[in-house]
């Protein structure tokens, strides 16, 4: 394990040594280094298509206003990066490929306890999910991040004049290292290996509720944009949040109910972009845009 970690860091370090200047120059030169307004399809287009699937990303790409594909990542037992939200196999919308419901053995078993090949037995798209009645039901599998990015890049090339941006969340949590996921350093390194290999670093934001992951990102991959997610029950001010982080993230991403005119004004004064989550009401989207937020994350990107 120690050898793998050392080897991984050396590999990524070499990649960044050769690419960092080029990345920075490219970011500085590109007029579209970040959308003027980031319209983000949450988990692809969760309200319309099975979440975090390749198909959900393609649906979001087909919606002309969407600029950014938002997604969640977990790490498997064999250290593969997969696109999936919950820590566990969720019986609310997951069943076996043969159409049967999950057994007690698999229901709510942690993603981190499966090898990637074992995850291929699950269908995450065809079971009716009452939280999203408009969701198209299509048999779907848990995708590798590398496969999803490759499919999204190729599809966007066919459907768009410009490539998509990516907002990738690390689903890690303090107190759950080694049980639900690897340590933050390994989590970020594994994601960044994919991001670098797929050539999307200039169009990628790494976001998290876990400050440790974006602190590590800022230290080791400073040219990559970061976003700090905050809940609606936060009691900290923006300045306190920044002091706690030890740096200014590119984006602050609060629950939409936190966002007021004063919140946006202060964030902008501090040099932060504001992209609230998860906004599923057309009137609320209009209200937030009037407050001059810098983007919107929504389960229903068709509302944009």
Among residues 199, 40, 71, 46, which one has the least CA distance to residue 143?
A: 71
Backbone angles phi, psi at 207, to 5 degrees: -120, 155
Domain spans in the chain, listed from the N-terminal domain onward:
2-87+142-303
The pTM assigned to this predicted structure is 0.92
CA atoms of 253 and 225, how far apart (whole Å): 13
Name the superfamily (CATH) of residues 2-87+142-303: Phosphatidylinositol (PI) phosphodiesterase (3.20.20.190)
N-terminal to C-terminal alpha carbon distance within the chain: 46
Share of the chain above pLDDT 90, in %: 89
pLDDT bracket for residue 2 (50, 70, 90): very low
Provide the mean pLDDT of the chain.
Answer: 93
8 Å CB contact between 176 and 216: no
Lookup: tokens for 253: 């991403």
Tell me the mean pLDDT in the region 273-294.
98
pLDDT of residue 33: 83
Is 165's pLDDT higher than 60? Answer: yes
Is 99's pLDDT higher than 70? Answer: yes
CA atoms of 73 and 144, how far apart (whole Å): 9
pLDDT bracket for residue 31 (50, 70, 90): very low
CA atoms of 235 and 186, how far apart (whole Å): 30
């Amino acid at each position: 394990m120690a050898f793998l970690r050392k080897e991984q860091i050396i590999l990524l370090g070499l990649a960044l040594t050769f690419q960092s200047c080029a990345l920075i120059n490219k970011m500085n030169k590109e007029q579209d280094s970040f959308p003027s307004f980031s319209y983000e399809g949450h988990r692809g287009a969760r309200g319309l298509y099975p979440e975090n699937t390749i198909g959900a990303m393609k649906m979001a790409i087909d919606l002309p206003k969407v600029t950014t594909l938002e997604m969640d990542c977990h790490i498997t037992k064999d250290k593969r990066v997969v696109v999936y939200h919950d820590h566990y196999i969720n019986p609310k919308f997951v069943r076996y490929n043969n159409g049967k419901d999950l057994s007690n053995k698999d229901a709510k078993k942690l993603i981190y306890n499966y090898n990637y090949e074992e995850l291929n037995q699950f269908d995450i798209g065809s079971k009716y999910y009452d939280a999203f009645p408009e969701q198209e039901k299509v048999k779907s599998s848990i995708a590798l991040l590398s496969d999803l990015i490759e499919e999204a890049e190729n599809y966007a090339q066919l459907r768009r004049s410009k490539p998509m941006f990516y907002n990738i969340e690390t689903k890690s949590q303090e107190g759950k290292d080694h049980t639900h996921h690897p340590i933050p350093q390994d989590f970020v390194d594994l994601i960044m290996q994919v991001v670098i290999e797929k050539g999307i670093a200039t169009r990628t934001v790494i976001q998290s509720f876990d400050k440790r992951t974006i602190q590590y990102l800022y230290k080791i991959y400073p040219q990559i944009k970061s976003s700090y997610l905050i809940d609606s029950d936060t009691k900290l001010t923006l300045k306190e949040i920044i002091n706690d982080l030890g740096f200014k993230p590119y984006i602050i991403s609060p629950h939409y109910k936190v966002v007021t005119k004063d919140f946006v004004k202060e964030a902008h004064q501090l040099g932060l972009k504001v992209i609230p989550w998860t906004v599923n009401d057309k009137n609320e989207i209009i209200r937030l845009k009037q407050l001059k937020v810098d983007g919107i994350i929504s389960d229903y990107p068709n509302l944009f």
